[in-house]
Amino acid sequence: MKLAVSQPLPLQGARNTRDLGGYPAGNGRTTCSHVFLRGDSTAQLTSADVQALLAYGVGCVIDLRSENETAAAPSVLRGQPGVAYYTVPLLDEAASSGFTGALPKGMGEVYQALLDRNAADFARIVHLLAAHLDKVTLFHCTAGKDRTGVTAMLLLALAGVPREAIVADYAVSEQNMKLVFEQIKRSIREKYGAEPPAAAFSSAPCQIEQTLDHLEQTWGTAEQYLLAAGAAPQELAAIRKALLGTAE
């Protein structure tokens, strides 16, 4: 049976902003909604979108885009009253570089490199998430697929969500962003005269499965990875409790 995945919020200026709630988490539990949102760029949000997110409970935004990306397309939510906005730049070798230079053959290797090289950044993300559990936190990058996808993978795994659900949550991004990706591809062809690499626009299940394999083989669990990265045990416990809505 095909797993149901969280559907994008009905926003005009974003196509892949979704709740991490509603996933099975073992022992009959389900992850809670209105805790964390994963999303794509917030640069094109309309005023109605902003009001919808505020009404949803968003009070913290963690922008995972590079400095170049945030300068070129500033988040509409930066400076929004009642919203704490932070940047934790992660490099994905695709959107973060403007799709120029040596692009990866597959995103799985990029995700593994993110885990290997950006452990301190993921620990900072945990710190920010744990500090704002009284409100909904939206973490996002440009497409809501790669940097956001790895972050969502870690959070869902921390909550005990099974692999098949984590993979399903990742894989739907490609379809959600299909129209946007087509626009980006056309822009690259026109601007650079080059054919965009298919991998950069794919959320094939194998990419996140490879990343989960790497996580398990190198660190064991998401919790062990985040602890090694510098996250505090009490922060991880608080995040898990918020996602599960119950004491462990």
pLDDT digits (tens, 9 = 90+) for 103-144: 567 899 999 999 999 999 999 999 999 999 999 999 999 999
Residue 78 has pLDDT above 80, yes or no: yes
Could you tell me the pTM of the whole model? 0.93
Q: Which residue has the tokens 């995945």?
A: 5
> What's the whole-number mean pLDDT along residues 17-33?
95
Report pLDDT for 168. 97
The span from the CA of 113 to the CA of 107, in Å, is 10
Mean pLDDT of the chain: 92
| Whether pLDDT at 210 is above 70 | yes
CATH (residue range 18-242): 3.90.190.10
**pLDDT tier, 57 (very low <50, low <70, confident <90, very high otherwise):** very high
Q: Look at 4-13, 104-113, 139-148, 215-224 and tell me which has the smallest mean pLDDT.
A: 104-113
92 has a pLDDT exceeding 90:
no
* Distance of alpha carbon 158 from alpha carbon 195, whole angstroms: 38
